[in-house]
């Protein structure tokens, strides 16, 4: 049911929409989770798709790590404080958020490094006789850069394609396919189950970039047979700026997983200091070098906000929030001033909205000055990320109202 049908069609749109937001917030089962975050006062924070808000548990945890584990225990913390096992331990916290059984997720390195490891490993799993790698041409540019580097290393040919073109482009020469789950610009959600099945039917391996879906919606890596996946942890997982990324290696592939970046952390005897490399068993083989302990343990504390949270409820609220925001925009903004480039269909929408206007570059700084924080993507997109754990319906109404006011102000100035 559309919001306008729920609230009626009276003349006072602001009063009606605020009343609707109040009712929706009052019935929001996730509303108490907001108190687990430190949020800037009087700010509507809609940039969690770039950097998540600060969980309240993180500062004290970091203070303890610095003062006690590093300061008092020093190097003994590798064993006494569990630093050495942290990449796998934190991976176990992320695993249920992406639909993975234990023993398949490890945390460390950046998304870029993990993408490179995953794609080269997928090509090596495919073996001889397959010389093409398909890459999502609409993905974040780094994905393409790394795919080019991967094929230079492996001697394969790179084929850029849009996700919708993948089924028709697959063939006996396809070794691996690298796809983005949610388009970082538009918020379009791609068909992970269907595309993974198509890749497997062609005898190839599927690698998914989950940067804009992990923590925003159910992913179902195990259920849908994904081979390898990577994702950052500083967006919807709220791990902090530059927090280490995660890498998923399906259990069935771990014995044959061949990383292009073998390091001492992935050695079967890391402290044996042997000149010959013998890979560790399981997902530990995906580690490389010494983990970034401060960021890793900050992430571990941040993941505590997910205790008792149902991802299905997160997804339901995400869709309700984005529907409500679009309804508010429709009520507040005159027709023709903004174009939503995010799909209207729920099955094709992530947890962000992208609105197109030629005034976007001038408009976003004004919104931020008014306490509505989103971001701008050239040449003409306003992006708004809706993190259901801490964004409410009143936030969505206020953001749409301020957007309409500033759009009118910028438009009159431009005119």
DSSP-derived 3-state class of residue 29: coil
Do 169 and 138 touch, CB atoms closer than 8 A? no
Is 234 an active-site residue?
A: yes
Helix (H) or strand (E) holding 146: helix 141-154
Burial class (CB within 10 angstroms; exposed 0-12, middle 13-18, buried 19+) of 346: middle
State the DSSP string of 96-130.
GGTT--TTSEEE-S-HHHHHHHHHHHHHHHH-TT-
Helix (H) or strand (E) holding 362: helix 360-369
As a whole number of angstroms, the distance between CA 384 and CA 391 comes to 11
DSSP-derived 3-state class of residue 383: strand
Is 60 an active-site residue?
A: no
Is 383 an active-site residue?
A: yes
Of the residues 209, 227, 323, 375, only one is catalytic, namely 209
Is 209 an active-site residue?
A: yes
Lookup result for tokens 């942290």: 86
DSSP-derived 3-state class of residue 356: strand
Strands (E), 224-342: 228-231, 246-249, 339-340
Do 374 and 51 touch, CB atoms closer than 8 A? no
Q: Which residues are registered as beta bridge partners of 178?
A: 135, 207
Contacts of 290 (CB under 8 A, 6+ apart): 265
Of the residues 116, 205, 234, 257, only one is catalytic, namely 234
State the DSSP string of 390-408.
T--HHHHHHHHHHHHHHHH
Of the residues 36, 250, 349, 383, only one is catalytic, namely 383
Of the residues 18, 130, 188, 235, only one is catalytic, namely 235
Is 390 an active-site residue?
A: no
As a whole number of angstroms, the distance between CA 240 and CA 292 comes to 13
Please identify every residue annotated as catalytic. Answer: 140, 209, 234-235, 383
């Amino acid at each position: 049911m559309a919001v306008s049908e729920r609230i009626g069609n009276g003349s006072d749109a602001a009063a009606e929409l605020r009343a609707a937001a109040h009712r929706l917030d009052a019935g929001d089962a996730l509303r108490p989770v907001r108190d687990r975050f430190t949020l800037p006062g009087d700010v509507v924070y809609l940039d969690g798709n770039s950097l998540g808000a600060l969980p309240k548990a993180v500062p004290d945890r970091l203070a303890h790590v610095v003062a006690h584990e590093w300061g008092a225990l020093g190097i003994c913390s590798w064993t006494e404080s569990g630093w050495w096992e942290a990449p796998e331990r934190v991976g176990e916290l992320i695993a249920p958020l992406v639909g993975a059984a234990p023993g398949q997720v490890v945390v460390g390195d950046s998304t870029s490094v993990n993408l490179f490891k995953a794609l080269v490993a997928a090509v090596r799993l495919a073996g001889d006789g397959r010389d093409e790698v398909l890459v999502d041409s609409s993905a974040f540019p780094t994905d393409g850069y790394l795919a080019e580097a991967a094929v230079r290393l492996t001697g394969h040919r790179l084929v850029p394609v849009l996700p919708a073109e993948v089924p028709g482009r697959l063939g006996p020469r396809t070794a691996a396919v690298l796809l983005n789950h949610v388009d970082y610009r538009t918020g379009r959600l791609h068909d992970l189950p269907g595309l993974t099945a198509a890749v497997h039917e062609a005898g190839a391996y599927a690698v998914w970039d989950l940067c804009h879906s992990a923590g925003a919606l159910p992913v179902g890596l195990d259920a849908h047979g994904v081979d390898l996946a990577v994702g950052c942890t500083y967006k919807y997982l709220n791990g902090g700026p530059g927090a280490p990324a995660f890498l998923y290696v399906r259990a069935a592939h771990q014995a044959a997983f061949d990383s292009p970046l073998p390091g001492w952390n992935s050695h079967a005897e890391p402290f044996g200091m042997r000149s010959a490399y013998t890979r560790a068993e399981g997902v530990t083989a995906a580690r490389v070098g010494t983990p970034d302990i401060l960021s890793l343990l900050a992430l571990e504390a941040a993941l505590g906000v997910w205790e008792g949270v149902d991802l299905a409820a997160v997804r339901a609220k995400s869709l309700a929030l984005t529907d409500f925001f679009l309804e508010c925009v429709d009520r507040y903004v005159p027709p023709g001033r903004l174009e939503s480039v995010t799909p209207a269909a729920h099955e094709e929408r992530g947890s962000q909205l992208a609105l197109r206007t030629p005034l976007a570059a001038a408009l976003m700084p004004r919104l931020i000055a008014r306490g509505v924080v989103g971001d701008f993507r050239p040449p003409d997109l306003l992006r708004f990320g809706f993190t259901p754990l801490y964004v409410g319906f009143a936030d969505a109404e206020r953001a749409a109202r301020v957007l309409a006011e500033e759009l009118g102000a910028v438009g009159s100035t431009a005119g």
